Structure 1
Amino acid sequence: MEGYILILSVLTTIIITECKNPNNVCKSFLDYQTKFINPHCWYNPDVTANAFELVLSHGYPLEVYEAITEDLYILQVLRIPPKSKSNKGIVFLQHPAFGSCVNWIDLGNISLAFLFADAGYDVWMGNFRGTTYSDKHVHLSTSSNEYWNHSFHEIALYDLPAQFDLVRKETGYKDKLYYIGHSMSGTTAFVYASLRPQHAAENVKLFITWAPVVYMKHLKTSSRFAAPFTNLILFLGEVLHLMDVVPHNGLIHKIIIALCTDNPWTIKMCISKFQSSLGLSPDYAVPERFPILVNQNFAGLSIKVVAHYGQMTKAGGKFQFYDYGIQQNQYYYHSKKPPLYPIDKIKTPMCLMYGGKDKLADEKVVVFTLNKKRISAAVIRYFLALKKPAGVLTAGGHDSMLFACTLFPNKYFGVDYLTGAPMLMKSCWFWNSELILSHGYPLEIYETITEDFHILKVFRIPPKSGINNGIVFLQHPAFGSCINWIDLGNVSLAFLFAQAGYDVWMGNFRGTIYSDKHVYLDTSSNEYWNHSFHEMGLYDLPAQFDLVRKQTHYKDKIFYISHSMSGTTAYIYASLLPQHAEQNVKLFINWAPAAYLKYTTGLPSRFSSFANLAMLIGKTFHTLNFMPHNGLLHKLTIMFCAEIALTMKPCFLLMQSFQGYDSKYSLPERIPILIKQNFAGLSLKVLAHYAQIFKADGRFQFYDYGIKDNLLFYHSKNPPLYPIEKIKIPMCLMYGGKDILVVEKDVLNFYNKLPKEAKYCIKKIDPYNHVDFQYGKDVEKWVFEYTINTVKQFKGIE
């Protein structure tokens, strides 16, 4: 009976199709039941357009190349060349099983390939053997079984190297490429990088794989029930010469299209089948994109690929070579069983993304891939389950990955946050050591104990052998950590100094995530947090400088570079310990240094009225760490300021009320870095101290404990001023014209009161606010380049 109903449905569909209007997409799945007359349905030409039509119809240039593999398959590779001379890098997009290059260009203007092209990248799109765009061979015909005698093993071993060699040759071998793959193209990335690690290291900067299918032990899809029958399926395919699973626009594909997009009675059944196979979430599956998925996929795939996945499922999920049976395994592998892929040999960094509702590549599979098989230390041990709505991956299923980068069409949510700028994405989530190692720099980690027993961690990027242009010490601002100097990818200041041949050291103040230890105290105690920037200047800086000088054998003094609060601590240190400073520091370069705060405006000025109350509450509830890293408040900040589209702008405006109003120079793609990597730990007493300075008409003074305790500590009713007239070390001050926290009048007033020998240079960057010195537009040119040149010029004068 069910067979008759199915036949009737198909016949009905064919009749309706001949007489229907052109509507092919709808706003909701329910609308598809009446799509030919429903006002919520419309015609989308991209549903059936080919790759060439899709690229050209959206106004992008197109170049088409062919590459011949080692085993003589002819592959077609499409390119959207970069605009003019601006080229931010090479991006290579590789489709999943059943797909083709169309997967990257079939969502209109918000397609990932177009977003990358808009962002200035050189975009290449590959096509694996057997797809509609790579269905040729030097000798074989697609009608022969020999043509289809390949699994993802051969695709990885031959197709990827051939395509990469083509790209590198056509681009003049100037730059390695960023590889982005989905599902099976993640599998092939692992196979390729493990079997040809040297070729991968020479050609690929980073692999970003969405829902990569590798270990299949925890497979939840209904496809697992087909695993025991893979040999039978393969046998039938060979006998009947049906080795292409679902030929594009073949009979089976046309029936799928008819049942899944045209027939109102079978659409629901079809969607249900997709859900059971892939984990497609009804909450995050976009109805108007479903016809695209059905029409544009099924572009050609060998049954042997499916059989290979089935074998891995039967083998308990092991990531292994193709199993030819005992006899042929002995011939091919010299063992009864197929060997495992040696992923421990992978040298190229990998970034894995997976969906919480994915039944093919679920979380256990991804974590197992990374943690259980000891991937080489050179590979980034990292996986990412994005929170909604930025990626739909927590709720989304396997094929939701195709649409993850297009949920929000603007620059921030579309490209840079998810996949468009791999270095920035890494910077959002990585720990300090991972960031340094992932960019190919050596790393040394030291610990030093301060005079008051805080244990501080200091990071070093040692100079290249035989080259040492000097020692640079980078100290982070309030709420930050050493990661502030390495979180902008290759243009990070620490890396720029390292490239220029400097010995780069990065400090961490007490209370940050990298310096949260004490010989006696615990971070849960109020005693641990009983410090302001005064103690940081008096104890943390000397301890760190002593460590650096000892490790470098006292050969050279330090160039100290700071931002905001670390400029404050520099003044304190240099004024209270002038002899120590003179022995250890050559030059202080301070960005937006907070000292005099008479003219501070915005929210910081209003906080001063509540500083004492905030301190009292903090002591009472043991919450003197203002915003613990990854604590509840930080997580809420990340959610509202970096993940929810509707609250991002209000959050950004709130941030500007603290630092300065001028969004033109605040880059959207760097906001997630600012939010996620900062808030690394800060005592509430630091903020209270700044508030006191503001209330005291901007005077740069010691902490005010009240008349009674001031008499005890200072022998006076009022706290003393810091004796900046004792500073002997040259200082270079940089400040922003739009900064409302460290205002120009205050900076000039402070600079004018410095002794003559301490005045080295002062620089105004007119469009910058307080935070722009680390995350602003053109920061590489206006701040980093100026800083490096100042160091070089000072050495020359010396």
Structure 2
Amino acid sequence: MAGCRRALLAAAWLVLWVQLAMATTTELPRVRGSWRGSLNLLESSVGTTTPPAETLGICASSVTVHGYKCQEFDVETQDGYILSVQRIPEGRATSVGSRQPVIIQHGVLVDGMTWVLNSPEQNLPMILADNGFDVWIANTRGTRFCRRHKSLDPSQPAFWDWSWDELVLYDLPAVFNFVYAQTGNKKIDYVGHSLGTLIALASLSEGRLVDQLRSVALLSPVAYLSYMTTALGVVAAKSPLAEIFKALKIAEFNPKGEPVSKFLKSLCAHPGVDCYDLLSALTGKNCCLNASTVDLFLKNEPQPTSTKNMMHLAQIVRDRRLAKYNYGNSGFNVMHYGEAAPPVYNLSNIPRDLPIFISYGGRDALSDTGDVQMLLDSLKLHDVSRLSVQFIKDYAHADFIMGVNAKDVVYSQVLSFFTKLLK
């Protein structure tokens, strides 16, 4: 019984970390002060897996209502997953001429909806559309609009047998191939946040996407997690996660499901854990979130992902290396990779002439400044004229995607970075 309690507690640490820290958006945000009542909000959301946008889709619920054209597409990956992609082909003021395509990729445990929670004047997709870009919003497998497969069903464990390695290998290439074909083989700009930066960096390190890519903008980048300052995240990553989840047979990691809620509740009963101010303790003190945006966020997020994906993210922290999924057994690793240890993603292989924009925050407890420096060190041979870096002292993880002043602080720099390349 004691061993079972320890296993559940260890799992609870993971739940808290990944649900509120690892990706942006399972966060229960701090709105210019402590965000109180977080646990009650989470508990009330258990079982509410069908938010208002579920039946309408992202276009109808959050884009066309503001006067923008928006199209929904299905994109099939090589391994059979069917992804939902939204296109905002132009701004509200119709213009003629060629428009530069840009793909926008969200983080883990959320979907593309998080990009359009703020008003059109404040969210990145619509700002880009109004400034002459052909905007494509990507959604990864397992999220609410991407729970389809040619032969598998989400109720089957096999549907969830993937980590972010498969996002690198299948999801990103499928979306890039589709957008590339739809836009007349134009080279594409890319914006990623959190996990969206990780899968782009890993892809580029293996020579993927290079022929179709014009530039990348990485917001709150995640590549290394050695300096992550959230103590709960570190504890979670060092827990015996593989054994725990294998024993519990949880393949889908659904933050709104009852098992996860129970894990979180058990954690919150642990002495010293403050479940009424989680965000500042785990992701840093976000400076600039709007209460109404946070409310809208809580109605739509978080989204499911695979347990295997969460375990892979934890491995980055525990192993202090950016590598492919570790199967925990040298024999299994040999079966998958031909070697006893998982291969490393070598970021120094990223083409040195690729234009890269990086923006990171001084209060980000996940994309810590020390880890960002490690990323920059791996790019030390990059063409200096092709690498732009922005440091925002007061920004934490969620500010980059939902901050009320992100338009002026971050998005204006992204827009300038992309626009200069058009000249």
Category of TM-score, reference length = shorter chain: 0.7 to 0.9
2:277 equivalent in structure 1: 272
- Answer whether contact 1:145 1:238 (CA < 8 A) is retained: no
- Paired amino acid for 2:135: V
Give runs of aligned pairs for residues 128-147 of structure 1, distance below 5 A: 128-147=140-159
SS in 2 for 1:354: strand
Give runs of aligned pairs for residues 191-206 of structure 1, distance below 5 A: 191-195=202-206, 197=207, 199-206=208-215
Give runs of aligned pairs for residues 735-746 of structure 1, distance below 5 A: none
Which of 181, 202, 227 pairs up with 2:237? 227
Corresponding position: 1:117 with 2:129: yes
Give runs of aligned pairs for residues 420-439 of structure 1, distance below 5 A: 420-423=415-418
> Could you tell me the TM-score, scaled by structure 2's length?
0.77
- Answer whether contact 1:75 1:128 (CA < 8 A) is retained: yes
Shift of 1:104: 1.1
1:155 equivalent in structure 2: 167
Give runs of aligned pairs for residues 256-271 of structure 1, distance below 5 A: 269-270=274-275
Structure 2 CA distance for partners of 1:193 and 1:253, relative to 1, 3 Å: same
- Answer whether contact 1:346 1:375 (CA < 8 A) is retained: no
2:394 equivalent in structure 1: 395
Structure 2 CA distance for partners of 1:224 and 1:134, relative to 1, 3 Å: same
1:286 equivalent in structure 2: 290
For residues 423 and 408 of structure 1, what CA distance do their matches in structure 2 show? 16
For residues 364 and 202 of structure 1, what CA distance do their matches in structure 2 show? 31
Give runs of aligned pairs for residues 238-317 of structure 1, distance below 5 A: 238-247=246-255, 249-251=256-258, 269-270=274-275, 272-281=277-286, 283-315=287-319, 317=320
Corresponding position: 1:328 with 2:332: yes
- Answer whether contact 2:103 2:189 (CA < 8 A) is retained: yes
Structure 2 CA distance for partners of 1:56 and 1:341, relative to 1, 3 Å: same
For residues 160 and 257 of structure 1, what CA distance do their matches in structure 2 show? 32
SS in 2 for 1:280: coil
Shift of 1:156: 1.2
Shift of 1:152: 0.8
- Answer whether contact 2:35 2:276 (CA < 8 A) is retained: no
- Structure 1 segments of 4+ aligned residues over 6 angstroms from their partners: 25-28, 30-33, 252-258
For residues 119 and 385 of structure 2, what CA distance do their matches in structure 1 show? 35
Shift of 1:339: 1.8
Give runs of aligned pairs for residues 535-684 of structure 1, distance below 5 A: none
- Answer whether contact 2:357 2:414 (CA < 8 A) is retained: no
Shift of 1:311: 1.2
Give runs of aligned pairs for residues 398-477 of structure 1, distance below 5 A: 398-404=397-403, 406-407=404-405, 415=411, 417-423=412-418
Shift of 1:136: 0.8
For residues 237 and 294 of structure 1, what CA distance do their matches in structure 2 show? 26
For residues 92 and 200 of structure 1, what CA distance do their matches in structure 2 show? 12
SS in 1 for 2:363: coil
* Offset from partner CA, 1:272-326 (integer Å, 9 cap, x none): 2122221133x434333322343332111111122112112111x2111111121
Shift of 1:163: 0.3
Shift of 1:408: 6.3
For residues 385 and 336 of structure 2, what CA distance do their matches in structure 1 show? 30
Q: Which has the higher contact order (CA 8 A, sep 6+)?
A: 2
Shift of 1:327: 1.4
- Answer whether contact 1:366 1:383 (CA < 8 A) is retained: no
Shift of 1:56: 2.1
2:368 equivalent in structure 1: 362
For residues 94 and 57 of structure 1, what CA distance do their matches in structure 2 show? 22
- Answer whether contact 1:321 1:338 (CA < 8 A) is retained: yes
- Paired amino acid for 1:365: D
SS in 1 for 2:253: coil
SS in 2 for 1:99: coil
2:182 equivalent in structure 1: 170
Shift of 1:342: 2.2
Which of 98, 106, 119 pairs up with 2:117? 106
Shift of 1:155: 0.5
Structure 2 CA distance for partners of 1:239 and 1:176, relative to 1, 3 Å: same
User: Which structure is larger by alpha-carbon Rg, 1 or 2?
Assistant: 1
Shift of 1:271: 5.1
Structure 2 CA distance for partners of 1:285 and 1:105, relative to 1, 3 Å: closer
For residues 379 and 242 of structure 1, what CA distance do their matches in structure 2 show? 47
Structure 2 CA distance for partners of 1:403 and 1:335, relative to 1, 3 Å: same
Q: Any gaps of 5 or more consecutive residues in structure 2?
A: 1-28, 38-50, 266-272
- Paired amino acid for 1:298: P
2:67 equivalent in structure 1: 59
For residues 219 and 26 of structure 1, what CA distance do their matches in structure 2 show? 19
Shift of 1:242: 2.4
- Answer whether contact 1:350 1:379 (CA < 8 A) is retained: no
SS in 2 for 1:242: coil
Give me the identity figure in percent: 24
SS in 1 for 2:221: coil
- Paired amino acid for 1:402: I
* Offset from partner CA, 1:729-777 (integer Å, 9 cap, x none): xxxxxxxxxxxxxxxxxxxxxxxxxxxxxxxxxxxxxxxxxxxxxxxxx
- Answer whether contact 2:399 2:406 (CA < 8 A) is retained: no
Give runs of aligned pairs for residues 468-547 of structure 1, distance below 5 A: 488-491=420-423
